[in-house]
Structure 1
Amino acid sequence: MINKVLCVLVVVLSQAAWSQDQDRAIVNGKVVSNTNDLEGVYVVNAQTEVMVTTTADGSFSIKAKPGDTLVFSSIQFKENRVLLTTENFTDLNFTVRLSLVMHQLQEVIIRRYDNINAVALGIVPSNQKTYTESERKLRTATALDATATASGMAGGSVSADPFLNFLSGRTKMLKKELIVEKKEFFMKLLENMFSLDHFVNRLKIPNEYVKGFEYYAVENDKFTVILNSKNKTSTEFLLAELAVKYKEILAGENK
């Protein structure tokens, strides 16, 4: 008996749902907003829970009837609910305006901490010598890695890498790279301290020989020591002396 009652209820409810669905028709519309990105907006019939999404131009088609509520939802738009009327089904220009969600950033305050560095944080010991790239390569190639082990000799073992680097010529090559690096450093330092006009008009070095004179100057060890001290007066004085000698060399070559 109970089974018969349940069957009757299922049939009645199905017929009611079918009759309600028969009352619904397709409503066509379009969402609009202050953006061209209108694709993928969810359109849900709150009564039937039927869901569709908008096309690239914002168009949608969904089954509904007057009195149903359409819910428009998307991550970039504020939710909008529209109660359908009879006119919406015959309106060829049925549009729903959506408002963009504005994500407002909080104030960002940037503080500068000049005294915070690797040394201050204890990551790097203070007064530690720093190395250039060429210096690091040369130091790695020539350093003796002495390590004492329980099974090794009393004095520890010594890596053979420095010896092999010496035999292969790698150490010699790295030393040359270090010399070139230092010369390039002094060249930049010299060019930053004095303009091209100073060399040409003050020291009377022909324009085409300025670069050669710079190389000539940084070859002088005494000059590079003074140059590295960044004492412009002393550097300028010695540079003038070197300019006289360099012009004498040019004069001798041009005879």
Structure 2
Amino acid sequence: MPIVQKFIGLSFMLFTFFGFSQAVEISGVVNSLGDVENIHVLNKAEQAFTITNATGEFKIEAKLNDTIQFSSVQYQTKYVVVDHQVMLFKAMRVVLEEHVNQLDEVVVGKVLTGNLLSDIGNVDGKVPINFYDVGIPGYTGKKKTQSERRLSQAGDFKPKMIPGMLLGGGSFDPLINAITGRTKMLKARVDHEERDRLMRNIKARLASDFFRSNPLEEESRMDFFYYCADAPNFVKRCKNQTDFKILLFLRSKYRDYMKNRTEGNN
């Protein structure tokens, strides 16, 4: 083989080796029969984490032989190894299978035969009665917490209430509670409880995947989530938001949290 051909072949091999040994951005798409939004995509080797958008698309840093993990509540966890073809095209397509919990058959109560006359005598349960059955109006909305009920009872004073109070058509309780600071205290308590509930919900759903790409010792993780919950824009940024937007908020607070710890140690 001529020297020139050997050199070209060796150069190609070296180019391929070093090219594939570097991390590149992989564009991918997740396919499934169900919803493909908010699928967690993790490359632990590169400390890279992202989630899919509404159409299942994602982008993540990876190099040859890295293992990409795809996980979600409704799908079976899948691991995909980045091979030469993925590196060459910088793209991948992943098909996820739904996670089915199969339960053993359980018979509760008496067995019905299908014979109406015999089954009527075999059933001894009573049909529950609710307020609709007896024509009584009832509340079907979200149940209030104790603090929310107390705040509702305390009332929220407005200046326009004064004429009604003076004419005997309104209660003085909202005014008294405003003057004594009770309404303000109850509002602060309701806000605190809402932040705490939201924080614990986010922690239960996203903490495991978040800390894979944002390392933090176990004993400091709860402190980090309290730090996030104390942020003035916490509820606005996280309530009724997608996992992707919540993770963006957590990442921004993570940088601030780690910076504050470093400055505190110094």
Q: Into which bin does the TM-score normalised by the smaller protein fall? A: 0.3 to 0.5
Q: TM-score, length-normalised on structure 1?
A: 0.44
- TM-score, length of structure 2 as denominator length: 0.43
Query: Per chain length, whose mean CA-contact separation is higher, i.e. which structure has more relative contact order (CA < 8 Å, sep 6+)?
Result: 2
